[in-house]
Amino acid sequence: MRDWWRGSVTYQIYPRSFQDSNGDGIGDLPGITRRLPHVASLGVDAIWLSPFFPSPMLDMGYDVSDYSDVDPQFGTLAELDTLLRTAHDLGLKVIIDQVISHCASTHPLFIESRRDRTNSKADWFIWADPKPDGGPPNNWLAIFGGPAWTWDAGRRQYYMHNFLAEQPTFNFHNPAVQDYFLDVLRFWLDRGVDGFRLDTVNYYFHDPKLRSNPALPFDRPPINPYDMQDQIYTKSRPENIAWLERMRALTDQYPDRMMIGEVGDALRGIPLMGQYTKGEKRLHMAYSFEMLDDRFSAHFFRSTVERFFEGAPDGWPCWAFSNHDVPRHAGRWSDHGRPADVARLSAAILASLEGSVCLYQGEELGQTDTELEYRELTDPKGLRFWPDEKGRDGCRTPMVWDGTAQGGFSTGTPWLPVKPPQAARNAAGQEGQADSVLSAYRDIFAFRKGHKLLRRGRTRFFDLPEPILAFTRWLGGDHLLCVFNLGPAPVALTLTGAEGTLGPGHDAVLDVNELRLGPNGYAWLSVGKDVTVAPA
C-alpha cells in the first residue's frame, strides 16, 4: 500500500540498549533480529532504528563517520540485511535514522575540508573568519553548551557546530553537499530500507550572512544558555523547503517508501510540522517535541492536535510521548496517577490521536527512567549540565527482558546499568498477565489496527472540564467516541447517542446514558453522528 505510513504505528529501537548478542554489553543488530517477534506481537507496522553507523560515539552514534556502513560494535551490513529480511517476513517496515545535518569530526569529508581553504571540500562545512578581536563571527550557541564555533588552527578560521565541537555542521547551501546526501539516501533505499527518520530536519540551513540570533525574554536564566536565544538564523530557514522536496523526489522513485522528520524548535514546532508535511512534495510525516515534555492535560492534547490540522489540513503528524532524548512519560507524568495506570492511559490516548504514532522501546512495559550517578553518565548533555540537567542516559538504559542478571539484555556488563526499579518491569514478568501494561499495549494497538477510522478518520473535540479529554473520530458514516480521565479521581459523564462500549477500555462502566471512569480510566464507544457528552 503506497501510503502505509498514514496512521501507522512505529516502534523505535535504540540499538545500544535493545539486545546484546555477544556479551560485550552493547546491543547489536543480531540482538535486534532475535527480538523482532516481540515487536511484531505489539501490532506495530514499522521499526525505527536509531543510528548504527560507524562513529566515535561521542554522541552515541549521532556523530557519523561513515554513512554507508555499520559500526563493528553493532554488526555488519550482512547482518543488517538479515534484520531487514526478518522484519519484512514479520510484516514490519524498517525505517533508519539519517543524521545528515552534521557528522563526526573524524569523517573523511571534514578532515579534507579543514586541510586548507582551497581543497575540493573546503566549503562543504561552515567556516568563518574571526572578528578583529579574535572572537567567533557571531553569538551562535551550541545545544551541548558553549559557542557554536570552534577555532581551527590549520585554516585559521572557525567552523560551526550545533552540538559538540566534534560534530561539525554541513553547508547545505553548497549543492554538492545535497548531491552527496542524495547518494547516501539512494544507497540505503537500494539496500531495501522502507524509509528514513531525518534527525534535526530543520537544521540543514543556516543564515549565510551569519547574523547574530536575537535574545529571548526570561525571568530567570535557564539551565542551558542556548535557550536564551531565538534561533532564527541557525535553523528553520526558508531554504530548507527546497531541500526537503529534493529528498522527497528521490524517495518517490522507490515504491512504498517514506520520510519522517524530527523538528527541533521550541517556538515553532507545530507550525513547522505542518509546513514540512504540506502537500505531496515534502516530508510524509513530521514530529516535534511538543508532546515530549511535562504538559499533561486535556487542553494541551486538544490544542496541540487542533493547531496542527488548522495550520496544515493536508499535512500529516506523527505523535510520540517518549523517545531516546526525553524522560520516559510513565515517570514524567506520574503526578497524574500510578505509573502503570498512566502508562495504559497514555497508550490509549496515543492510539486514538489523528495521525501516525511512535512508541519507544520499553514504553510497552511502563518503563521509567533510571536514576544514575554522575560517574555512570555517558551523555555529553548530562555531563555538561549536571546535576540540574541529568541528560538523556536515564531513558537509554537497557531493555529489560526477564528477571535474570542484567535483565536478559547481556551476559556481560551493560554499557549503562540495569537497576532494580527497571528490572521489576521486565517483559517476561508481564507476559500472559491480563492486567499488565504489556497486555494493555497489545490490546490497544490491535484495536487501533482493526479500526480504520482510528488510523484515517478525522477528529471532533468536545468542550469538557479538566481532567476529561473526549473526542470523536469519524470516517464516512462511522463514528467512535474516545473518552479519557486524565486524573487520579473517578469522573462521570452523561452521554446521548452512545450505542455501547468497544475495545479494551479500562475502569469504565456505561450504565444507560451515564459513563463512569475510574482513576485514569478510558473507553471507546460506538456512537451516532449527533452524540453529546457532558459532565454528570
Distance of alpha carbon 450 from alpha carbon 96, whole angstroms? 26
CA 171, 172, 177, 182 torsion-angle sign = positive
- Reading the block at residue 1, the C-alpha cell is 500500500
Is residue 2 very low, low, confident or very high in pLDDT (cuts 50, 70, 90)?
confident
The C-alpha atoms of residue 501 and residue 32 are separated, in whole angstroms, by 37
- Which of 36, 31, 54, 55 is CA-nearest to residue 46? 36
- The amino acid present at 333, given as its one-letter code, is W
User: CB-side exposure of 312: number of CA atoms within 13 Å?
Assistant: 24
Q: Are 142 and 161 in contact (CB under 8 A)?
A: yes
Confidence of residue 102 (pLDDT cuts 50, 70, 90): very high
- Given the residues 28, 262, 364, 369, select the one marked as catalytic: 262
Going from the C-alpha of 291 to that of each of 130, 413, 463, the distances in angstroms are 40, 34, 21
**287 DSSP 8-state letter:** E
Q: What is the mean pLDDT of the segment spanning 353-372?
A: 98
Grid cell in block for residue 81? 540485511
Cβ(35)–Cβ(364) under 8 Å? no
d(CA 524, CA 18): 33
Q: Above 90 in pLDDT, residue 10? A: yes
CATH 2.60.40.1180 fits 458-535, yes or no: yes
Rounded to whole angstroms, the Cα distance separating 43 from 534 reads 33
Residues in Cβ contact with 502 at an 8 Å cutoff, skipping those fewer than 6 apart = 447, 480, 524, 525, 526
Those residues with Cβ within 8 angstroms of residue 326's Cβ, 6 or more apart along the chain or in another chain: 289, 292, 293, 332, 392, 395
As a whole-number percent, the residues of the chain with pLDDT over 90 amount to: 98
Distance CA 193, CA 184 (A): 12
Which member of 97, 199, 341, 369 is catalytic?
199
Q: What's the angle, vertex CA 398, arms to CA 188 and CA 43, rounded to 5?
A: 60
List all residues 6 or more positions away from 246 whose beta carbon is below 8 Å from its beta carbon. 178, 182
Mean pLDDT over each residue of the chain, to the nearest integer: 97
Q: Is residue 163 predicted with pLDDT exceeding 80? A: yes
SS3 content of the chain, % helix, strand, coil (to 5): 30, 20, 50
| Residue 198 β-bridge partners | 98, 261
pTM check: above 0.95: yes
Contact 110, 138 (CB under 8 A): no
What's domain 9-103+175-448's superfamily in CATH? Glycosidases (3.20.20.80)
Is position 199 annotated as part of the catalytic site? yes
pLDDT tens digits, residue range 312-352? 898 999 999 999 999 999 999 999 999 999 999 999 999 99
**Cell numbers given for 98:** 539519517
Give residue-wise pLDDT tens across range 107-159.
999 999 999 999 999 999 999 999 999 999 999 999 999 999 999 999 999 99
Residue written as grid cell 469522573 = 491
Q: Domain-by-domain residue ranges, the chain?
A: 9-103+175-448, 458-535
Residue 420, number of CB atoms within 10 A of its CB: 7
The amino acid present at 349, given as its one-letter code, is I
Secondary structure (DSSP) of 354-390: SSEEEEETTGGGT--PPP--GGG---HHHHHHTTTS-
pLDDT for 452-486, tens place per residue? 999 999 999 999 999 999 999 999 999 999 999 99
444: helix, coil or strand?
Answer: helix
pLDDT higher than 70, residue 444: yes
Q: In what order do the strands lie in the sheet with 195-198?
A: 285-288, 258-263, 195-198, 93-98, 46-49, 9-13, 356-360, 318-320
Q: CA–CA separation, 61 vs 57, rounded Å?
A: 5
pLDDT of residue 34: 98
Does position 368 have pLDDT exceeding 90, yes or no?
yes
Beta strands 478-485 and 514-535 are antiparallel
Sign of CA dihedral 98, 99, 104, 110: positive
pLDDT for 288-319, tens place per residue?
Answer: 999 999 999 999 999 999 999 998 898 999 99
Q: Say whether pLDDT at 1 is over 70.
A: no
Task: Take residue 253 and report the three cell numbers written for it.
Answer: 522513485
- Over residues 358-381, mean pLDDT: 97
Grid cell listed for 288: 516535534
Tens of pLDDT, residue by residue over 46-70, are 999 999 999 999 999 999 999 999 9
User: pLDDT tens for residues 175-233?
Assistant: 999 999 999 999 999 999 999 999 999 999 999 999 999 999 999 999 999 999 999 99
Whether the CA torsion 346, 351, 357, 358 is positive or negative: it is positive
Cell of 148: 557554536
- The x, y and z cell numbers of residue 60, run together, are 552515541
Q: Is the pLDDT of residue 385 over 70?
A: yes
Is residue 252 pLDDT above 70, yes or no? Answer: yes
